[in-house]
Structure 1
């Protein structure tokens, strides 16, 4: 991302942690001209939606959540669930990397060496005879080397196990073969969707101690270090480590940046010890020092990490609302569409221009979204409009937009699935008009909110079967916005079954690209093509030569009596 293109970037961290990554990242962001927003991870449940809507990107450098490193992946999952655009690995990858047994299994299946290990518990403390000392003892779900010890003898191992049992009686522990040899830091950056290994470093301190424990990792360095240097490796061995690191990055589902801790055994085998999804980003730690050897200063490192995330997410918009202003037969209309609420399609606007709502009538809109059709009906003179939807955000948006357009006293919002939101009195009295724009993209399996079943008619069948019960016998009209990707023969047969009069009030062409459907579900465009070739959907071309389907504005009246 260019240094002059300002972003608003949240940095989530654990307040009180010895880790100073958040402060370092914030300084790097400011150097790039971006706006950092520091947030305590303890507040993530309350702040996640705000961060999703108010920040272009979110760095998560949580150390512990609810007091434990085990739970830090939950922070990412909460952020993802609220729609935040994360920098770095997703929550699932964070959990897998911190869950050492799961990570080992994935790496082993990919042919990546890890030290032999077993998991034991207070009830089963048996270490098999094939796992010989010395050992490394660690929690199965933790990071920053918390609680990591070495045991040179069975007696030392037993002492560590007793200590763990006192502090965490229900926890599982991993007992792993200790690998003597050089310890390497292998930083990885993702560039253009592919992992790139930065210069590999040797952690020289590992020559003086068996492991780089929690105490070492909590030391804050402020100047040049003598205990880290670029590793001197045979070219073939370095190539092998780089290839293994790229494979590990992909297997664990990591994104944007990470660091692997590797032990190089005396016979030259690189054993992968840990995957760090949030490697220390302090200026004198391995990630930044390696980047410097690759020719990047600290802001440049941050910029490249942002570039990788932006390639995946896009810059997005911080506007919480999009607006729509238009003139309809009932008058001018101004709609604000909050984030997360579908923006009205052009076809919905076309339908709003042709519906035949008369003054004093009662109207029902099924699946109201932001309330466009409900408000259009009220502006045409409807004395009461009931708008239904399953999404609370859509119902709130409908009521707010009704207020903005001065028709709030005539619009009621109801939560529920189609006509299930109504009561028996409304069924008995009936509506003059029912408006429906249900999802109807055909697909062999569910693929999101546009899913309409294998033939596109899944929702329409239920609505049409019930609509006749809620329409006034002589005056009732059912307006349906359908698309030609559904089985039209079956659609009109279905409507004829429930209404005496069914007419096509209008149609428009809607251009599209195959990728629009492939992005919903791989192979979906081919599925639609197969339907079209079988005569169960219609796909044509516009005057410009683009692929297109038809929007069908259908008016059905004179509902048949339900027997």
Structure 2
């Protein structure tokens, strides 16, 4: 049986297109050291790219955001008989919805922050938010990534101003947890190193995430070995509870008392060499090229198993 080519999907038309282009180009460069690689820049939400052949391609997608990360592209690949790396359609759809993810994690015993959810412009009163969650809160879209739409507010006046920007779509309000923000990669079911995120302005929003020099990353996180191990175990449990496969990156806050609260699961995390998943993997001895090989391995096995009679 002939080895498949790796089809790297990048771009798309979501709000995260530029992030996806960076991830895709870096991933393609690394994978091309070991495999024949074809790169597809998607310009449409509606369909898979022409030239993608289930008989000769295994897909490695870096399509962040809508279509690529919400289960739509995965369902289309399943329908077309295309093997692909990463979470399947069901777990991708689940984890793209922060509210559904948190509900599943809470059911599995993974600690999550309290929340208020609203949609279609039916805005809660700022006074209600303060009474339930406290005066310091975070507002975020239920189904976006890369910190798109993320807002921070202190007190009723700021909360009211932020709510006015949330009149379309579905939104989530959580208490702003004082403490450390950390993230951990999961690769083939194993939790890797815990990385601490320290935005200089105290807010890990889109600007802090993608503006050079605005955030400091501490790898490994400056937390106790016991807490690190607890976070890794809970992250693995979260990964399994949401039916994830292959790899993901899981984010959480640790309050000043050392209690972790899990925020979300990123099934197609950023994949430039300086991204958080590669930082987490480096703590377990993987360089970037080795990590990319590891990420695509399970999909190659599924392809070989599915084509073993050909």
Equivalent residue number for residue 196 of structure 2: 202
d(CA) in 1 for partners of 2:55 and 2:239? Answer: 30
Distance 1:142 1:65 in 2: 7
Cα-to-partner distance string for 1:390-445 (whole Å, 9 max, x where unaligned) = xxxxxxxxxxxxxxxxxxxxxxxxxxxxxxxxxxxxxxxxxxxxxxxxxxxxxxxx
Structure-2 change in CA distance of 1:226 and 1:56 (3 Å): same
* Aligned match for 1:144, one of 134, 143, 146: 146
Deviation at 1:157, TM superposition (A): 0.8
1:217 matched to which residue of 2?
209
Matched, 1:116 2:110: no
Is the 1:58–1:87 Cα contact (8 Å) retained in structure 2? Answer: yes
Give secondary structure in 1 for the equivalent of 2:268: coil
Q: Is the 8 A contact 2:42 2:49 kept in 1?
A: no
Q: Is the 8 A contact 2:250 2:265 kept in 1?
A: yes
Whether the 8 Å CA contact 2:136–2:175 is kept in 1: the answer is yes
CA deviations over 1:24-55 (Å, ceiling 9, x no partner): 110111112x1222113335755468524244
Q: State how 1:288-437 maps to structure 2 within 5 Å.
A: 288-314=278-304, 317=307
> What is the match of residue 38 of structure 2?
37
Superposition pairs for residues 132-531 of structure 1, below 5 Å?
132-165=134-167, 168=168, 171-190=169-188, 195-205=189-199, 208-219=200-211, 227-314=217-304, 317=307
SS in 1 for 2:256: coil
C-alpha change, 1:136 and 1:312, in structure 2 (3 Å) is: same
Match of 2:18 in 1: 18
In structure 2, the CA distance between the partners of 1:102 and 1:23, relative to structure 1 (3 Å rule), is same
Q: Is the 8 A contact 1:185 1:262 kept in 2?
A: yes
> How has the CA–CA distance of structure 1 residues 312 and 247 changed in structure 2, closer, same or farther, with 3 Å as cutoff?
farther
- What is the CA-CA distance between 1:230 and the residue it aligns to? 1.0
Cα offset for 1:187?
0.7
Q: Hey, what's the Cα distance between the residues in 2 that align with 1:276 and 1:293? A: 19
Bigger Cα Rg: 1
- Are 1:88 and 2:86 matched, yes or no? yes
Runs of 5+ unmatched residues, structure 1: 323-563
Work out whether residues 41 and 75 of structure 1, in 8 Å CA contact, stay in contact via their aligned partners in 2.
no
For the residues of structure 1 that align with 2:143 and 2:159, how far apart are their CA atoms? 19
Work out the CA distance in 1 between the residues paired with 2:185 and 2:179.
Answer: 19
Question: Hey, what's the Cα distance between the residues in 1 that align with 2:72 and 2:247?
Answer: 19
| Alignment partner, residue 473 of structure 1 | none
TM-score, normalization by structure 2: 0.87
User: How far, CA to CA, are the matches of 1:92 and 1:52 in structure 2?
Assistant: 23
RMSD over aligned CA atoms reads 2.6
Normalising by structure 1, we get a TM-score of: 0.50
- Give 1:309 shift: 2.5
TM-aligned CA distance change 1:304 to 1:179, over 3 Å: same
Residues paired across the two proteins, number: 299
**Is 1:102 the counterpart of 2:103 in the alignment?**
no
Verify: 1:63 aligned to 2:53, yes or no.
Answer: no
Structure 2: gaps spanning 5 or more residues: none
